[in-house]
Amino acid sequence: MPLSDHLPNSGRHGSRIEFDRVSRVYSGADHAAVSDVILTIEPGRFVVLLGPSGCGKTTLLKMVNRLIEPTSGTIRIDGEDIRQMNAATLRRRIGYVIQQTGLFPHMRIEENIAVVPRLLGWPKESISQRVDELLDLIGLPHAYRRRYPAQLSGGEQQRVGLARALAVDPSMMLMDEPFGALDAITRLRLQDELLAIHRQLGQTILFVTHDIDEAIRLADEIVVLRAGQVIQHGSPLDIVTAPADDFVRDLVGGGEALRRLSLIDAGSALNRNGNVRNEGLPAVTSDANLRTVLNLLLQTGTQKVTVTDENGAPVGTLGIPDIWSAGLERGTES
């Protein structure tokens, strides 16, 4: 039997996920962890749930694969109420990736990846072929098949977690801060690889993070949550340029300020008071942007830089207070 017969989604479609007034109140809690969420995720979209710790992201995600049941409201997948589905069957249609990988330590990588295909009773050779295919997809050598999770780095383990979630080609992926424990460089690489996999396979992805930069990097759409409620739902650009309220503004604030600094040049911000002498300070030309200048100040540990014209003649100095006030002025103009 060809492998494609085991992969129901090889027609490459994502599922539609609908939350229809979904709430969840934990017993003994005085407020809802998720409150009256109305949200439709269109097929094939990469949607990021963004919000601070405790705002209900994990609860919302786990209700989709019925690890948690809503107190009220309905979740539909491709139009079908998930309460009408067998929970185990539902979960096999959904790839689930969490921060603590959930790999079985006593099982080899090939066995970990093949958990669901084995449950589904695929023949041995189909499983073996699929494991190789998935190792290629996530960029690990086939020789890793025989290793145990403890013999892999954190980033490699997270790749195996991703491969396992993709094993039966699900039409949906639920990802709960999957890269949260990785170092910055590994994290960037895995984000890129996930984007490439999404472009190739076209599943619907619901991805949880509290990191605005990760959200902006990955998302087609961002859903901002606070205290169990949807505060804003839009493109990354919408969220950054038109935050719905002060809460969202604070959430995107730091990154937005840096992006703004990169649009202002040193010449327009420099301090023209006092004598301009080049006292051995680091120098930048007046067309350098303020983000570059700020980086230079932080790297060199100096108080100021000298700003020069295109001939190298000093025209002024710039320190952190000047950068600060230029950034503030431009921020209030727009």
Ligand X SMILES: Nc1ncnc2c1ncn2[C@@H]1O[C@H](COP(=O)(O)OP(=O)(O)O)[C@@H](O)[C@H]1O
Judged by the rule CB under 5 A, the positions of this chain that interact with Mg ion are 58
Nearer to Mg ion, 97 or 114 (CB): 97
Among positions 17, 48, 50, 55, the unique one binding ligand X when judged by CB under 6 A: 55
Please report whether residue 66 would count as binding ligand X according to CB under 6 A: no
Q: Map residues 88-127 to x or -, x wherever contact with ligand X holds by CB under 6 A.
A: ----------------------------------------
Burial class (CB in 10 A: 0-12, 13-18, 19+), 217: middle
Write the DSSP string, 39-76.
EEE-TT-EEEEE--TTSSHHHHHHHHTTSS--SEEEEE
Q: Is 215 in the site for ligand X (CB under 6 A)?
A: no
Using CA atoms, how far residue 125 sits from 129, 130, 142, 198, 287, in Å, is 6, 8, 15, 26, 62
**Side chain identity at residue 210, one-letter code:** H
Q: Minimum Å distance from CB 174 to ligand X? A: 12
Contact call for residue 331 and ligand X (CB under 6 A): no
Site string for ligand X, 16-45 (x = CB under 6 A): ----------x--x---x------------
Q: Which one of residues 23, 35, 58, 191 is an interface residue with ligand X (CB under 6 A)?
A: 58
Which is nearest to 19 in space by CA: 71, 68, 69, 60? Answer: 60
Rg of the chain, C-alpha, whole Å: 25
Among the listed residues 15, 35, 59, 308, the single contact to ligand X using CB under 6 A: 59
Nearer to ligand X, 6 or 57 (CB): 57
Q: Which does 236 bind (CB under 5 to 8 A by kind): ligand X, Mg ion, none?
A: none
**Partner whose binding site includes residue 202, from ligand X, Mg ion, none (CB under 5 to 8 Å by kind):** none
Q: What is the rounded CA–CA span in Å between residue 123 and residue 228?
A: 44
Does 56 sit near ligand X (CB under 6 A)? yes
Which among 54-62, 187-195, 233-241, 307-315 is the span making contact with ligand X, rule CB under 6 A?
54-62
Q: Which residues contact 311 (CB under 8 A, 6 or more apart)?
A: none
DSSP secondary structure code for residue 15 in this structure: P
Report the DSSP pairing between strands 221-226 and 46-50: parallel
Residues in contact with ligand X by CB under 6 A are: 26, 29, 33, 51, 53-59
